[in-house]
Structure 1
Amino acid sequence: GEALRFYKLGTDALTVFHDELDLAPFKVKVKQGGGHAGHNGLRSIDQHLGAEFRRIRLGIGHPGHKDRVTGHVLGNFAKAEEDDLAAMLGAIGAEADWLAKRDDVRFTNDVALRQQG
């Protein structure tokens, strides 16, 4: 919140990238506003700034049982997932201009296409 206030920016200038249990691993979605869904980082941002900011949801998948969520969220990616992780991050970087231009649909589509290719 302090950085936004210092630069006299509103939450419309904020984009938060976060892990998302409810998305398949390495899937990328954009969402404007919404609840925190139990995500501690989003909860903290909500408390300081409100919920109306853009979120880039990065799928990590659900481990299957709620008792395994903490270890899944805080743990490292498996060796077998490293190529998919690199492809996702590379696609996000390559298509980041669309985020800056606020063309979330184009960003999402182009990231998905890069991940398939």
Structure 2
Amino acid sequence: MDWLIAGLGNPGPDYAKTRHNAGFCFVQELAQRHQASWRLEKAWKTELARFAIGGYDLLVLQPQDFMNRSGAPVQAAAAFFKIPPARILVVHDELDLPPGVARFKWSGGHGGHNGLRDLDRALGTRDYWRLRIGIGHPGHKDRVVGYVLARPGATEEAEIHAAIDRSLGVLDDFLAGRADAAMKTLHSE
């Protein structure tokens, strides 16, 4: 495997269309575009799909434990396939970006995101790639939990999906080691 792409979210129909599941939406769309099927890997508590893009073999995950326990499934899959953290792309919702905006980021802190906090712990490093899908902020920290676990309005949902679509449009460049080109295109939109 050349790359592991993990979409973060919460499993189950109650969370399927919530803001917090932007990472799941990304990997689901990616797999659908490449006609890949998902299978449950019970030992790792994840759904996974395997396919290639531009000659790069991908392992794509949707951890099936809750967001704050995303690290173990990603770490287990990465260890089994011998994928180093530098070849992991974690796709997640981002409160600090408005809907419609997506940004690649190398390394850094978790910014209060419990999925990233758990990944940092499980991987033993912060040195992995992130794709941050903007969902906006409710305005006050006391409203964050209800906000991320709610479904966005129609306009916001369309903006989030547009950001996912633009991100998928630069993924080939990113996977081929042209992260600067991918970021320049994505970050200028």
TM-score by length of 2: 0.56
Q: Could you tell me which residue of structure 2 aligns to residue 15 of structure 1?
A: 89
The answer to whether the 8 Å contact 2:103/2:187 transfers is no
Q: Superposed, which structure 2 residues align to 1:1-117 within 5 Å?
A: 1-49=75-123, 50-112=125-187
Identity %: 38
Question: Which structure shows the higher helix fraction?
Answer: 1
| Structure with bigger RCO (C-alpha 8 Å, 6+ apart) | 1
Q: Is the 8 A contact 1:33 1:53 kept in 2?
A: yes
Distance 1:60 1:42 in 2: 16
CA drift at 1:110: 2.5
Runs of 4+ aligned structure 1 residues displaced above 4 Å come to none
| Residue 11 (structure 1) shift | 0.2
Which structure has the highest strand share of the two?
Answer: 2
Length, aligned pairs only: 114
Instruction: Find the residue that maps to 2:161 and give its secondary structure.
Output: helix
Normalising by the residue count of structure 1, what TM-score does the alignment of the two structures yield? 0.86
Which residue identity lines up with residue 57 of structure 1 in the other structure? R
Return the letter of the residue paired with 1:68: R
CA–CA separation in structure 2 for the residues paired with 1:72 and 1:2 = 30
Does the Cα contact within 8 Å between 1:28 and 1:108 map onto a contact in 2? no
